[in-house]
Structure 1
Amino acid sequence: MNKLLPAAAVAAALGLTGCGGGSSAESSPSAIATSTIKVGVFDTNQTCNQLFAKDDDSRLITASTFVANLPTEIDKSQRTLAKISAGDLEFVANTANEAMKPLVLDLAKPLKDLGESDQSGFDREAYKMAESKVLEKCSTQYSSYQGNKAARAAVEKAEADVAARKAAEEAAAKAAAEAAAAPKEYAGFGDDVVTITKHDTGAQAAIIQHTGGSNFAVHTLDATLDTTDLLVNTIGNYSGAVLFDARSRGQTTALKITAGGSWTIKLVPLTSVRSFDGSVPITGAGDDVFYYKGATKAVTFTHDGSSNIAVHTFGTRPDLLINEIGAYTGTVVWAPGLYQVTADGNWSATLK
């Protein structure tokens, strides 16, 4: 950027005094022109500072980066960029001293030729030769740039290492959480007693299926193999989700299965069961476990089965909300919490 000189400096450069002009030699056009050039130009150091100002965004580095990445097939956009870069360098040359001006112009010329013509190639050799001469004159600024670049690279590497380490830790934590939440599966045929490992202490959900025509029952057992609860008791095929250890009656360590066919049991953490907020009805078929996360409201519940229909809530105040036989339609109050539905037919819950 051109610098504006104080009026006194301009007057001194032109050989003017407060009483009138100086000698005829000092007032001659050639003397005035020479003095003006000397005042208007930068020294080599200032020119180099202009070329390297803003590090990677500087005029010289921008031009050199452009040249380094210039493709073999040159299109209109590259010619435009070359012309812009040449203009930036010529701007510096306009205020450069006699030693630097030709060097900077030589640097700009291959870029200008590319930007203002339809030539298919770029004179890289001419540019590189001009660049090496400029770098020789601007060795101090170039060394400073290289040092800043190395420092930036070190900071960027450190930041990248921290980000990579954080990403790895997050990925490991996510994988561990997914592994911890993955269903624990057990399968068999006929009667059996299966030792289980729960995801955590307290309530646990089990997704159970049975294929067979005879009685199917699943009991929970404690550490002494005493029966603590009856989860399923039906005839024939079965598919549903049930809740166990929801009340403080010790931790289940095994399941006793009575079956005439094949069966599977998947233990899932409560974080994996479905939930609804009441904005739309929730529906299901058979036994199920879910969370209600809406406000306390009246709910119309329907069931079209023929056997027991029961709805337990395990919120802040555990309660048996519904306990009927066969088809059912009624309205009860639901509060936020965990719910267990025991049913043999289709059911729905709709907030009023």
Structure 2
Amino acid sequence: MNKIAPAVALAAVLALTACGGSSGGTSSVSATASTFSVDTSCEQLFNKGDEGPMFAAATFLTNLPDEVTKSDQTKAKILATDLEYVAGTAGPEIKSHVEAMAKPLNDLAAADGKHEFVAADFKEAGNKIIDLCPDQAGDYNKEKSAAAAEAKRLADLAAKKSANESAAKAAADAKAAADAAAAAPRDYSGFGDDVLTITKHAKGPAILVINHTGGSNFAVKSLDSALQSTDLLVNEIGPYSGTVILDGQSRDESTALEITAGGAWTVTLKPLTGVKSFDGAAPMTGHGDDVFFYKGTAKPATFAHNGSSNIAVKNFGTTRTNLLVNEIGAYTGTVVWAPGLYQITADGDWSATLK
């Protein structure tokens, strides 16, 4: 089967940039009764554009596979019948050209085995029809141009939207990465006594996670820019592991820590965004010094501690700091548990259960 190459079919039959004329010559139509027949036939041939009788046939023949199937032959017969219908009502000026377009389709539908046709005849018939239908061909060309322009406009909008979305995502990812890097914990370590210079993530309260392995006194004080003590954060004997608030009450911004130790120690500085939180649906529990947010509503809470040294519970509310518990040893009691940041100072297990 000889396929019609695009240069033969779509470049010939659909060559509408010079509607009203072609390399195959021109044909004049007199203002007689046949003019109405030509116009009617033109409307029928160009009706539905690419899906109409003329262009559907050209597209079909252009895209035929090398091995033609029974389904292809059935399709060819349908297309030929559509063209023959137009030819049956067409005037003599256009009838023979429509029939010339239908012939290769009928030949293909009736073929038994290999089928060949003269592509030049199909091309000439298509060019003649374009000559005879300048208005319809021009309208088709305008519609195709408008459709192509609209398709390009939509494609450009889609590309721009995609580019904007990609840029927005890249910016969001970059910001998230920068925020994550800016909020990343800052680790310090040492052995024995030291004055440790620190850099906070932002002004205001921060969190220190502190560990000590020595057997003697271990103390940590916060210092301001003049190296004046602002708060005693830890004061224990022997090994220590806990979390404390830095600059929770002090108006001065700490820039260093004074460490008294008999062994190795580590300090991890975190922003408040790294603090765990509770909503009160389940009991809040922990061991030793700890810091957390309570994000529920104010309720009575039973607080319990099983340690032997000082147990203190502070709530850093929106307007003031409340000392809820300050006892020595084991403790059980009911206190008002309000939303806010909490600091627990303890040497044993503790829990807070809302009522």
Q: TM above 0.5, one fold? A: yes
In structure 2, which of residues 334, 347, 352 is the aligned counterpart of residue 349 of structure 1? Answer: 352
Provide the C-alpha distance between the structure 2 equivalents of 1:325 and 1:162, rounded to a whole number of angstroms: 62
Query: Displacement, 1:279?
Result: 0.6
Alignment-derived partner of residue 327 in structure 2: 324
Q: 1:102 to 1:210 in 2, by over 3 A?
A: farther
Cα distance in structure 2, aligned partners of 1:105 and 1:290 = 87
Paired position in structure 2 for 1:262 = 264
In the alignment, structure 1 residue 201 sits paired with structure 2 residue 194: no
Post-superposition offset of 1:288: 0.5
The within-5 A match list for 1:134-213 is: 140=141, 142-213=144-215
1:276-300: CA deviation from partner (whole Å, max 9, x where unpaired): 1111111101111111111110000
Q: Distance in 1 between matches of 2:50 and 2:171?
A: 44
Amino acid at match of 1:200: A
Residues in 2 aligned to 1:207 and 1:142: alpha-carbon distance in whole angstroms: 70
Report if the CA contact (8 A) 1:104-1:134 is conserved.
no
CA contact (8 A) 2:310 2:329 kept: yes
Q: Is contact 1:50-1:92 (8 Å) kept?
A: no
Say which structure, 1 or 2, has more relative contact order (CA 8 Å, 6+ apart).
Answer: 2
Work out whether residues 240 and 287 of structure 1, in 8 Å CA contact, stay in contact via their aligned partners in 2: yes
Unpaired runs of at least 5, structure 1: 1-34, 53-58, 71-78, 113-122
Separation in structure 1 between the aligned mates of residue 236 and residue 284 of structure 2, nearest angstrom? 24
For 1:100 and 1:266, the matched residues in 2 are separated by: 87
- Counterpart AA for 2:334: T
1:208 counterpart SS class: strand
Question: Cα distance, 1:41 vs. partner?
Answer: 8.7
Q: Provide the secondary structure at the position in 2 that maps to 1:206.
A: strand
1:45 aligns to what?
Answer: 46
Q: What amino acid maps onto 2:354 in structure 1?
A: L
Structure 1: how far apart are the matches of 2:295 and 2:204?
A: 20
Question: Would you say the 8 A contact 1:94–1:101 is kept in 2?
Answer: no
CA distance in 2, matches of 1:46, 1:261: 93
Q: Distance in 2 between matches of 1:105 and 1:149?
A: 35
Report the 3-state secondary structure (helix = DSSP H, G, I; strand = E; otherwise coil) of the residue aligned with 1:43: helix
Output the CA distance in 1 between the equivalents of 2:103 and 2:353: 81
- 1:332 is aligned with what amino acid? V
CA deviations over 1:26-58 (Å, ceiling 9, x no partner) = xxxxxxxxx99x979943332425469xxxxxx
Query: Number of residue pairs matched?
Result: 284
**Residues 1:323 and 1:45: Cα distance change in structure 2 (over 3 Å):** same
Larger mean Cα displacement after TM superposition, 293-302 or 38-47? 38-47
Shift of 1:152: 2.4
- What SS is found at the alignment partner of 1:169? helix
Structure 1 residues 232 and 91, CA gap change in structure 2 (3 angstroms): farther
Matched, 1:242 2:244: yes
Contact 2:278 2:294 in 1 (8 A): yes
Structure 2 residue aligned with 1:306: 308
Instruction: Assess if the C-alpha contact under 8 Å between 2:101 and 2:126 holds in 1.
Output: no
- Residue identity (%): 47
Post-superposition offset of 1:217: 1.1
Paired letter, 1:43: Q
2:290 is the alignment partner of 1:288: yes
Aligned mates of 1:306, 1:46 — CA distance in 2: 96
CA contact (8 A) 1:299 1:332 kept: yes
2:230–2:250: 8 Å Cα contact kept in structure 1? no
Q: Which amino acid aligns with 2:190?
A: G
What does the per-residue CA deviation read over 1:118-146, in whole Å, with 9 as the maximum and x for residues that have no partner? Answer: xxxxx9x99xx9xx999987872554444
Structure 1 pair 328–46 and aligned structure 2 pair: CA distance change class (3 A)? same
Letter in 2 for 1:45: F
- AA in 2 matched with 1:240: G
Cα deviation code 1:37-86 (max 9, x no counterpart)? x979943332425469xxxxxx99x999xx89x9xxxxxxxx9xx979x9
Q: Please state how far the C-alpha of 1:328 moved relative to its aligned partner.
A: 0.9
Contact 2:307/2:329 (<8 A) preserved: yes
Q: CA RMSD in A?
A: 4.5
The 10-residue stretch of structure 1 (336-345 or 309-318) with the greater mean CA deviation from structure 2: 309-318
Q: What is the TM-score normalised by the length of structure 2?
A: 0.67
Post-superposition CA distance 1:138-179 (Å, at most 9, x none):
872554444333322222111111111111111111111111
**Contact map agreement 2:100 2:125 (CA 8 A) in 1:** no
Residues 41-190 of structure 1: matches in 2 within 5 Å? 42-48=43-49, 50=51, 94=82, 97-98=86-87, 140=141, 142-190=144-192
